[in-house]
A and B are shown apart, each in its own frame.
Chain A
Amino acid sequence: MDPFTTLSAIAVPIDQANVDTDQIIPARYLGKPREQQVEGFFHDMRLDPNGRPREGVTLNNPAYKGAQIIVGNQNFACGSSRENAVTVMVDHGYRAFIAPSFGDIFFNNCFQNGCLPIRLPAERVARLRVILHELPGAKISIDLAGQTVKGPDGQTDSFEIDSFRKEMLLKGTDSITFTLGYEKDIARFETAQRQDVPWL
């Protein structure tokens, strides 16, 4: 997995609350190989049923081209556990998501794919979206080690992340290899459990 250290990139605002993972990638793309899922990226939010770009959708605005950060709203990426919601965004170049809150499973899935979901207070996130609408193409700078997000207005906010995930992201650690380092503990647990719940 690619380590995540710092990122200074164009950020695109998505104003809706409760954007679900069905919006990020509609279910009909899930059974396809990853290369073909790329087309599903916010497909129905971006395009009308005739395949024409919808008006007023930030993701269609060329000024945000090359964006690597999404600034969303409450409960961003709620709903289905589909990890494709993360990977399809990764495949479009996104590495970080800023919102007041996230769907729990999506939040976990981000770390598995070298992405950083950042929770900031709702007011600050709303302000960032306003700025990004006013200045399309403006950049946000993220420093994971220092746990800061700097907006286009120069304001720097710090964010919380637990040390466990931070280390994993900074180093690009493979979690399976990491866990297998605890093999002795796992084996001990299994032995004890065989006595405790013999019917399993």
Chain B
Amino acid sequence: MADPRTMFEKIWQRHVVVDRDDGYTLLYIDRHLMHDGSAPAFARLQARGMKVRRPDRSFATPDHYILTSSSRPQDIADPQQRHLVEVIKENCDADGVTVFPAGDPRQGIIHVVGPEQGLTQPGLLIVCGDSHTSTHGALGALAFGIGSSEVTHVMATQCLWQRKPKAMRINVDGTLGEGITGKDIILAIIARIGAAGAVGHVMEYAGSAIRALSMEGRLTLCNMSIEAGGRAGMVAPDDTTFTYLQGKPFAPKGENWDKAMALWKSLPTDEGATFDREVTLNAAEIAPMVTWGTSPEDALSVTARVPDPASAPDQTKQESMRRALDYMDLKPGTPMEQVAVDRVFIGSCTNSRIEDLRLAAKVAKGRKAQVPAWVVAGSGLIKAQAEAEGLDKIFRDAGFEWREPGCSMCIGVNGDTGLPGQRIASTSNRNFVGRQGQGVRTHLVSPAMAAAAAVTGRFTDVRKMLG
């Protein structure tokens, strides 16, 4: 019997083209995903007189620069940004790459679109010129972000040189409380291991609480692996995965489905396989989380108080906490539930899927937003489904704005930014200084917590509002 292997190891080995003595491996890429930031990579490819080697394995959709007030590229005022949204379609058309352009109902955030179209499947090696490519690992794929030069390299060769990362397992056992989501789990993990806690590692999330998560919850979880420093994040495929994939446009059909299932069922980590590191969390202890600082590791329970830098273990940490609190305009010891917000953003590749919107709508229903609140679905299809379920009406009745799909206020490069000094409860993944606009203070939360903040005007333990 062969040595027990981790899922990561199995997927890695399936993609080895060349193994060099110096520790470098040439890996074959199954899916290359692209977005409207891929224009410079295309330009470099064209400058070499080359075309995309495997257009059949490449897929694109504009997301970063597209407006959320209108999905028409003509409405984008900035000519450079309009060009980026339009040129992705031209580039793809010229090389025969499948693109879901602006105005196509399938357009959306690439990390939402991939799984939704069935492009993301167990066992695949997926890359994209975007750090949140880790999202796709939720289906049991090995998926990671690459830089723009590497994007050109993949376009030209369909391969990538990599050194094998280490493997780490995060076990979350037990049962989550009411209103606790994948977002709260991942924030709790990052708070525990730190923003650099998984650098150089591929993270596998395991344990009964992970098995119980929906596909949406798993996507949220894997999405933020990069915020823990992880190279990738993954969850073993199971019936939740198979049910989710069945019937998706690019999922295997008929005889191929059976063939794929046989492969997919062989992927999970073998009993007895070893990881370089293991971390265990108790699901029952995870509360609704909110960040207080400018790194995703600055996360705590909504029932906690703003921490005091004086309690930090060393001077560097004290300094950075002081700087973060200063930027966030928070005083040590203030209960998080007393912190008022100016705006709310529900969206991004972390939390813009149908289940996220349903959960937020459940909290918003019959209440009134006290501050401006945006809901930005992750794709045109999700937006349409939410409308079919009447969620848009619930949001509109509660005073929320219902917008067109895209990255929007997660990064704000399309102009969807907050004003200096504004405090935003956001379902996105990064609370970095200036991420949502210069001087904007971002607090990361789940969709339920974001909706609760919208209707109360402050951070509120959403558990009080559910049920």
A186 at the interface (CB under 8 A from B): yes
Number of interface residues of B (CB under 8 A): 68
Contact assessment for B195 and A81 in the assembled complex, using a CB-CB cutoff below 8 Å: no
A76–chain B nearest beta-carbon distance, Å = 10
0/1 interface trace, chain B 209-236, chain A, CB 8 Å (1 if under): 0000000000000000010010100000
Query: With A30-B37, A75-B196 given, is the CB distance from A180 to B145 under 8 Å?
Result: no
B127–chain A nearest beta-carbon distance, Å = 10
Contact assessment for A162 and B159 in the assembled complex, using a CB-CB cutoff below 8 Å: no
B331 at the interface (CB under 8 A from A): no
0/1 interface trace, chain B 177-214, chain A, CB 8 Å (1 if under): 00000000000000000011001100000000000000
0/1 interface trace, chain B 67-91, chain A, CB 8 Å (1 if under): 0000000000010110010000000
- For B292, the chain A residues whose CB sits under 8 A away are none
The segment from B94-102, B315-323, B387-395 that touches chain A is: B315-323
Contact assessment for B412 and A28 in the assembled complex, using a CB-CB cutoff below 8 Å: yes
- Report the bound CA distance from A164 to B21 in whole Å: 9
A167, closest chain B residue (CB): B22
Contact assessment for A18 and B295 in the assembled complex, using a CB-CB cutoff below 8 Å: yes
A103 at the interface (CB under 8 A from B): yes
- For B57, the chain A residues whose CB sits under 8 A away are 200
Contact assessment for B149 and A30 in the assembled complex, using a CB-CB cutoff below 8 Å: no
Classify chain A: how many residues form its interface, as a range: 35 or more
Residues of A166-189 contacting chain B, CB below 8 A: 175-176, 179-180, 182, 185-186, 189
A112 at the interface (CB under 8 A from B): yes
B17 at the interface (CB under 8 A from A): yes
- Report the bound CA distance from A26 to B434 in whole Å: 7
Query: With A30-B37, A200-B30 given, is the CB distance from A44 to B438 under 8 Å?
Result: yes
Query: With A83-B149, A164-B22, A185-B26 given, is the CB distance from A23 to B161 under 8 Å?
Result: no
The segment from B2-10, B252-260, B377-385 that touches chain A is: B252-260
Q: Contact check: which of B22, B153, B231, B430 meets A163 at CB < 8 Å?
A: B22
A58–chain B nearest beta-carbon distance, Å = 14
A116 at the interface (CB under 8 A from B): no
B433 at the interface (CB under 8 A from A): yes
- Report the bound CA distance from A162 to B439 in whole Å: 40
A166, closest chain B residue (CB): B22
- For B161, the chain A residues whose CB sits under 8 A away are 164, 175, 179
0/1 interface trace, chain A 56-86, chain B, CB 8 Å (1 if under): 0000000000000000011100111111101
Contact assessment for A182 and B18 in the assembled complex, using a CB-CB cutoff below 8 Å: yes
Contact assessment for B199 and A108 in the assembled complex, using a CB-CB cutoff below 8 Å: no
A67–chain B nearest beta-carbon distance, Å = 22
The segment from A5-13, A130-138, A143-151, A191-199 that touches chain B is: A191-199
Contact assessment for A80 and B433 in the assembled complex, using a CB-CB cutoff below 8 Å: no
Contact assessment for B229 and A78 in the assembled complex, using a CB-CB cutoff below 8 Å: yes
Residues of A92-140 contacting chain B, CB below 8 A: 101-105, 108-109, 112-113
A154 at the interface (CB under 8 A from B): no
Contact assessment for A179 and B26 in the assembled complex, using a CB-CB cutoff below 8 Å: yes
- For A109, the chain B residues whose CB sits under 8 A away are 147-150
A61–chain B nearest beta-carbon distance, Å = 18
Question: Given A30-B37, A82-B147, 17 other A-B contacts at CB below 8 A?
Answer: A16-B319, A16-B323, A44-B438, A49-B420, A75-B229, A80-B130, A81-B130, A83-B147, A104-B200, A104-B229, A109-B148, A113-B149, A163-B22, A164-B20, A185-B18, A186-B158, A200-B30
The 10 A-B pairs of least Cβ separation, nearest first, read: A112-B149, A199-B252, A109-B147, A75-B196, A199-B256, A83-B147, A83-B148, A81-B131, A81-B145, A22-B432
- Can you spell out 29 A-B residue pairs with CB atoms less than 8 angstroms apart? A18-B320, A20-B430, A22-B434, A22-B435, A27-B412, A49-B439, A75-B229, A78-B195, A78-B229, A79-B430, A79-B432, A80-B430, A81-B146, A81-B147, A101-B196, A101-B199, A102-B199, A108-B150, A109-B150, A112-B149, A164-B24, A179-B157, A179-B159, A180-B156, A182-B18, A186-B157, A190-B158, A198-B259, A200-B124
